[in-house]
Structures are given as structure tokens and as C-alpha cells.
Amino acid sequence: MADILGSKPLPAQTGAPLVSAPRKLPFSGWKVTAALSSVYFFALGLNYYGFVAILPAMIKDLEWSRGDATIGFSFVGVMAGFGSPVAAMFIKRIGARNTIIVGGVINALGALITYFTDSLLQYYIGVSFAMALGITLQTHVPGSTVLTNWFLQRRALVMGIMLSSSGFGGFMASIAFGYIVKVTGDWRGVFLIMMGSALLASLMAYLFVRNHPDDLGQFQDGVDPTALPANQNEPPKKSAVYKSTHSWSLREAMRTPAYWTLVGAFTLTLMGYTIGLSQAPIYLELDRGLDPLIAKGALAAILLISTLGRFSGGLLGDHIQPRYLLAAGLAMVLASMLLLNYSYEIWQVYAFAILLGFGYGLGYLSLPTLIANYFGGNDYARILGASYFISIPLSALAPILAGYTYDLVHSYTAVFLGFSALAAAPVVLTLMARPPRVRAAL
């Protein structure tokens, strides 16, 4: 009958083995998100924020001035900014995954150098150069680049998940590392923990991170763009959040007022955060006379609340314009500086921590999301890298100025109030920073 109908016999009829169709892999974007979150937890959460937690102990033990010690902390930011275009270059040449792996080796080497430090120069080389460059290659630019490749519809959410993990890691590090130093009286062993965490982050990237859905034969958001919708008569839903269909080049993006407004607001958000993060523990512990554990508790609260701010921003950023989140974040950082200046009670200290942490969390999440939404993904790594190149080094100058201002006048009042005055107008400008028109790029 098969011959009469002109059809081929089934494999069972001929005795041929049955061959099953290749199994389709589930969408791997969420696994990649989890892996990048672990990289942020270990490389940034433990190593960067953990360093901040033990800085007062290093100052006491090595008898450094606050200004000299703060230079090391601040130049972590400078190197993070200058290293961002380097990360973009590495991504173009070897891919984001390999960039993270290389960064982990450099990060670990810096921690080992700092373990043996007895001088400011060695401290600057270990922390301000090697660890800072390694952390930059492991986190900001490669992480957000990978997630931009994997996600469009839930981009803010996955950014929020990834960025929240570093805040959670910092919360744990500030408590655990502070406790280790208090019990043992030794801060050096913490840098051995940091060395291990940097290498563990690279291992997670090697095992689980893939640069693009194409690497696994998958699609952005797990949706085949050539597949027909279930209901072909139903019009596509319009997103509440603007996402450019035009991919801008770096040069085109830098010609738009929106780009500079967003970068300016982000810079000020970082300035307030770095001032609070670096100076508040010293100010509260050494000037206000609070118990060191209370000061460390305030630091831990900042980091924990910043995690909540990042995750909240991720939940909201796919439903409302992220520029509103950036403006709200800057406004909260501004208010936190005012409150810190007039903090005399413990509840005021923790109110400051809540405002600073949540405000920074919103702002920290908003910029990489806005860059992707406003300017597309083709040149994303370079545009974001250029933004960090501007914002992070400028914001890193703020703690240096704060530290030396205190050394000069023995007061932080001018620093806290001066920042608040500087940040007021950009809050309003950010609210008005609408997406640029494509014709401006031509």
C-alpha cells in the first residue's frame, strides 16, 4: 500500500531505529542572570564593600591620616571609571565572559598584594589599581552587556536582580568582616577571603555565563522573532517604558542633551553615596563617639537597603520610565546628607542609612537600564563604558575632598550641606530628560 500511495514506509515497518527530534533547551537567560548575580555578590559585594568595612581598622593599625587612606578608597572609583572603556575593549576582543574571568585573576592578585601591605604605596597598588581594575572587568560593563543581549522585555528586572546581589554581599561582608576584625584584631586575613571570592566569581562565569542567546541557539527573551503570535489578529502590546528601536553609536549618543543629563544625575548620586559610605562610618565612630558596631550597623543598613532599592527599581523599571527612578534616587541621597549633618540620635543615623541606601539603589539600577532603553544595544558596552568613565572618577573625587576638608576644618558640615545644594537642580532636570529623537543622531 505504501508503494501504491507513493509514500515511504515508517521506520518501524522497515526495522530502522527510531530517531527522536533534538530536545529544545529551556531559555537559559535566567540561569545566566543567576550566574552574573553570584559574580556581583563575590567580586563587588564582598571585595569592594568588605574593604570599606575594615578601612577604619587599617587607619588605626597603620597610623594613616584619613585623607591619605581615603585617597585609596577614592581611586578605586577612579580606576573603575577609567577601567570601564578598557572593559568595553576587552568585551569586543574576547567577549564578556572571558573579560570576567580575566578580571577575577587581577582582583585576586590585588587582594594578595594588599594582604602584605605596610605602606601607602603598596596599598594604592593593591587596592586602588589591581583590585579596582579587576572588579571593573568582572562586574559593571560585562554584566549589564550580557543581560542586555539576553533580555528586552524584562531588562530592568534582571538588572535589578543582578545589581541587588552586590548589595546583599556587601551587607554580609560589613557584618562578617567587622566581626572578624573585632574578634581577631587582624584585618589582613580578610584580604585572603577577598582573594578567594574573586577567583570564585571567575569560576561561576566560566561555568554558567554565555555572552549571547545565539551561543546556545536561543533568542532574546526566549522568543523566536520569526514565530507567529498565538492570536495573529491581536495587535502587539505597547510597552509603558520607552525602548529605542534604533541603535545609537557612542558619538551619536554623546550629542544628545539627554545623555549628559542622565550622566550628570548619576554622577551626583554616586558622589553622595561615596561620601556617605566612606565618611559616615568614620564620622559616626570617631567623631560622634558611637560604638563601632553601631557604626558598622549603619554601614550594613546602607548596603542592605541599597539592595532593596535596586530590586525595587528592577520591579518598577519595566513599568514606569526609569528617569523618574533616577530623579527620586538623587533626591533621597540629597535628603540623606542633610539628615546626616544633623544626626544626634541612633534613629536619625539609621534614617540616614535608609535614605542613602534606597536612593543609591534606585540610581545605580537606573543608568544602565536607561542607556539600553534610550540608545539600543549595538554599541551598548562603549556607551555605558564612556558613562562610567565620566561619572565614577568624578564621583571618586568627592571622598578625597571630604576627607581633606575634615583634616583642614575638623568638620563635615560644609561637605554635607554643600553636596545637598549642588544636587538640588539636577533632580528637576532629570525628570525632564525625555528620550532623544532619532533624527538627533543623524
| pLDDT value, residue 289 | 67
CATH of 29-211+247-441, one of 1.10.3430.10, 1.20.1250.20, 3.40.640.10, 1.10.4160.10: 1.20.1250.20
CA distance to 122, 315, 373, 416, 436, per residue, from 157 (Å)? 40, 5, 13, 33, 23
Output DSSP code: residue 229. Answer: P
Averaged pLDDT, groups of 10, the chain, 442 residues long: 44 47 75 97 90 84 82 79 92 96 97 94 93 94 94 90 87 86 90 96 97 93 73 59 88 94 94 86 72 71 85 89 93 91 80 93 91 89 91 83 82 84 89 81 46
Give the three-class secondary structure for 139: coil
Task: Record the cell numbers describing residue 43, joined without a space.
Answer: 567580586
Output DSSP code: residue 43. Answer: I
Indicate the Cα dihedral angle 370, 168, 100, 31, nearest 10°.
-80
pTM: 0.78
> How many Å apart are CA 358 and CA 338, to the nearest integer?
15
Q: Where along the chain do its domains lie?
A: 29-211+247-441
Indicate the Cα dihedral angle 280, 285, 291, 293, nearest 10°.
50
Kind and range of the H or E run holding 301: helix 292-316
Residues 102, 104, 106: CA angle, nearest 5 degrees = 75
Q: Which residues contact 289 (CB under 8 A, 6 or more apart)?
A: none
Alpha helices in 209-291 (DSSP H): 250-253, 257-282
CA distance to 128, 163, 365, 367, 426, per residue, from 321 (Å)? 35, 18, 12, 12, 17
Q: Which residues contact 34 (CB under 8 A, 6 or more apart)?
A: 208
> How many Å apart are CA 99 and CA 86, to the nearest integer?
10
The answer to whether the CB of 135 falls within 8 A of the CB of 52 is: no
Q: Which residues contact 310 (CB under 8 A, 6 or more apart)?
A: 160, 163, 164, 167, 361, 362, 364, 365
Count CB-CB contacts under 10 A for residue 262.
24
C-alpha closest to that of 374 among 332, 312, 309, 317: 317
**CA Rg value for the chain:** 24
C-alpha closest to that of 197 among 117, 277, 138, 123: 138
AA letter at 195: M
> How many Å apart are CA 146 and CA 424, to the nearest integer?
34
| pLDDT value, residue 286 | 72
Count CB-CB contacts under 10 A for residue 308.
17
Centroid of chain to Cα 177: 21
Task: Record the cell numbers describing residue 413, joined without a space.
Answer: 558640615
> How many Å apart are CA 302 and CA 41, to the nearest integer?
16
C-alpha closest to that of 84 among 368, 406, 354: 368
**Side-chain half-sphere of 150: how many Cα atoms within 13 Å?**
26
| pLDDT value, residue 228 | 53
The answer to whether the CB of 318 falls within 8 A of the CB of 157 is: yes
| pLDDT value, residue 366 | 92
